[in-house]
């Protein structure tokens, strides 16, 4: 994407083989076909999907590709042997990709694994298009400080935060009374607790409005996604978490809202397609065309709203407790949830166990005395590891029960 001054942009995509990564590449292709763009790809990274990464390298000609799984080093070399591209393998190689000199970086790795690469790109002053919400949840203070100090822009990709970013008056934050995060309610919005108790992974990942990776889809089903987003919002925007509401809006047309002190409520709307928020971060502060369907409100007909059901979706309560506890608590919530989701997706535990395990870990976490603000990455990493250990124990206990 050309910057406003017409200079070519160098782009890196961390997590290029995922849902957000692929949407980003498809947008770049679309913009190029429209003659809108001047970009080159510096680096692409993936976890294990060598075939897709090699295919992307063939098409987009990055200078560097990295695969996180060190055991796949030779596979990547073989798959890209005919291309003029440097390769790397292992966690360090993904961090190397982030360190390379791109001026716009899409942070689209899923989970806490995205933290160190994102932080690396932030520290050298790149503009960060941030999809990876988990890295703000587990080390938001550290990541936002790094971006601020190095002078890059933090461009939220998550549709809710992207919506708020577009209507938030950063010059007068004291005139904002609250943020309203909208939530689709996920696939189990109308399910009874008994039905949810028997939900399968296939049912949990079948989101009614959005097509996304497996982890975030399960998070939408538990509504932990909205809990993580609440914590994410409190880091991105200068507003206290107590002034962030969650509103269920099943059509996913209003992507979130900002209420001002005079009673005005500003919203951003669009069809539920991540290519719109991604396009807005790609071109920011300009705009660029996106192939996403234009919103047709006559066809939509009705927009409805309801309060979230905290009884059936305890994840929202847990996220509020974690953000109020501060310090390492949000990171421990996130790590426990990641372990729970992975265990559910591999059929080791039941759907409702995800939140139950997360609650168990948070109870232990709340007995630790931690600093209210995390100042170092090491603290975040230690809390993440501790919560994973506790959650894994809880998974084993439940799987055996
Ligand atoms: P996905 O599972 O489709 O893709 C994840 C990407 O990360 C893949 O490229 C994968 O190879 C890579 N990856 C996974 N584990 C890794 C590891 N350990 N080390 C290095 N790379 C690894 O996920 P997604 O749906 O694209 O979501 C990506 C992030 O964006 C998540 O944090 C998610 O919460 C957030 N997000 C996604 C959407 C969406 O619509 N998909 C919307 C809002 C926010
Ligand atoms: Mg979202």
Q: Give the mean pLDDT of 12-17.
A: 98
Q: Give the mean pLDDT of 275-296.
A: 95
Model confidence at 2: pLDDT above 60 = no
- Residue 132, ligand 1, Cβ within 6 A: yes
- Residue 133, ligand 1, Cβ within 6 A: yes
Confidence of residue 189 (pLDDT cuts 50, 70, 90): very high
Pocket test for ligand 1, best of 106, 131, 207, 270 (most atoms within 8 A of CB): 131
- Closest by CA position to 303, among listed 262, 362, 254: 254
- Residue 25, ligand 1, Cβ within 6 A: no
Report how far ligand 2's centroid is from the alpha carbon of 160 (Å).
Answer: 5
Model confidence at 120: pLDDT above 90 = yes
50-60 vs 19-33: helix axis angle to the nearest 10?
20
Report how far ligand 1's centroid is from the alpha carbon of 174 (Å).
Answer: 34
- Residue 66, ligand 1, Cβ within 6 A: no
Higher pLDDT among residues 369 and 43, named by residue? 43
Q: Give the mean pLDDT of 20-39.
A: 90
- Residue 220, ligand 1, Cβ within 6 A: no
The C-alpha atoms of residue 26 and residue 14 are separated, in whole angstroms, by 15
Q: Give the mean pLDDT of 70-84.
A: 98
Strand, coil or helix: 86: strand
The helix (H) or strand (E) run that includes residue 104 is: strand 104-107
The C-alpha atoms of residue 280 and residue 167 are separated, in whole angstroms, by 13
Q: Give the mean pLDDT of 363-382.
A: 83
Model confidence at 195: pLDDT above 90 = yes
Confidence of residue 211 (pLDDT cuts 50, 70, 90): confident
Model confidence at 53: pLDDT above 80 = yes
Q: Give the mean pLDDT of 151-171.
A: 98
Confidence of residue 207 (pLDDT cuts 50, 70, 90): confident
Condensed to tens digits (0 to 9), the pLDDT of residues 340-366 reads 999 999 999 999 999 999 999 999 988
Per-residue pLDDT, 210: 86
Q: In what order do the strands lie in the sheet with 39-46?
A: 86-89, 64-67, 39-46, 9-14, 104-107, 127-130, 154-156
Q: Give the mean pLDDT of 313-325.
A: 97
In the chain, the domains with their CATH numbers are 9-157 (3.40.50.720), 170-271+294-310 (no CATH), 326-401 (1.10.1740.10)
Strand partners, 244: 179
Report how far ligand 2's centroid is from the alpha carbon of 25 (Å).
Answer: 20
Per-residue pLDDT, 49: 98
Percent of the chain topping pLDDT 90: 90
CA of 22, nearest ligand number? 1
In this structure, the number of other CB atoms found within 10 A of the CB of residue 265 comes to 13
């Amino acid at each position: 994407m050309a910057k406003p001054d017409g200079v070519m942009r160098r782009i890196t995509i961390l997590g290029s083989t995922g849902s957000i990564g692929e949407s980003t590449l498809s947008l770049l292709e679309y913009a190029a076909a429209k003659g809108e763009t001047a970009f080159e790809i510096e680096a692409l990274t993936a976890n294990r999907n060598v075939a897709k990464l090699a295919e992307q390298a063939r098409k987009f000609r990055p200078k560097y590709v990295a695969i996180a799984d060190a055991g796949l080093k030779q596979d990547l070399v073989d798959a890209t042997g005919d291309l003029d591209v440097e390769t790397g393998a292992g966690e360090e190689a993904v961090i190397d990709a982030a360190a390379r000199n791109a001026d716009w970086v899409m942070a689209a790795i899923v989970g806490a694994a995205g933290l160190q690469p994102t932080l690396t790109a932030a520290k050298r002053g790149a503009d960060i298009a941030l999809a990876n919400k988990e890295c703000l949840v587990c080390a938001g203070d550290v990541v936002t400080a790094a971006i601020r100090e190095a002078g890059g822009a933090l461009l939220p990709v998550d549709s809710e935060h992207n919506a708020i970013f577009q209507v938030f008056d950063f010059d007068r934050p004291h005139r904002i009374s609250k943020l309203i995060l909208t939530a689709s309610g996920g696939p189990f919005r109308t399910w009874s607790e008994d039905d949810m108790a028997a939900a399968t992974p296939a049912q949990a990942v079948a989101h009614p409005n959005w097509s996304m990776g497996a982890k975030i889809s399960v998070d939408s089903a538990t509504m932990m996604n909205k809990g993580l987003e609440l914590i994410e919002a409190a880091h991105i925007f200068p507003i206290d978490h107590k002034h962030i509401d969650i509103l269920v809006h099943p059509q996913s047309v209003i992507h979130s809202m900002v209420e001002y002190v005079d009673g005005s409520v500003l919203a951003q709307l669009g069809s539920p397609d991540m290519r719109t928020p991604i396009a807005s971060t790609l071109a920011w502060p300009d705009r660029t065309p996106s192939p996403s369907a234009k919103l047709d409100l006559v066809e939509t007909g009705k927009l409805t709203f309801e309060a979230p059901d905290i009884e059936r979706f305890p994840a929202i309560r847990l996220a509020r407790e974690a953000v109020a506890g501060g310090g390492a608590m949000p990171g421990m919530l996130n790590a426990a949830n990641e372990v729970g989701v992975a265990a559910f997706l591999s059929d080791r535990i039941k759907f409702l166990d995800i939140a139950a395990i997360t609650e168990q870990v948070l109870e232990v976490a709340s007995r630790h005395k931690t600093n209210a603000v995390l100042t170092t990455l090491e603290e975040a990493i230690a809390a993440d590891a501790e919560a994973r250990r506790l959650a894994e124990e809880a998974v084993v206990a439940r799987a055996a029960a």
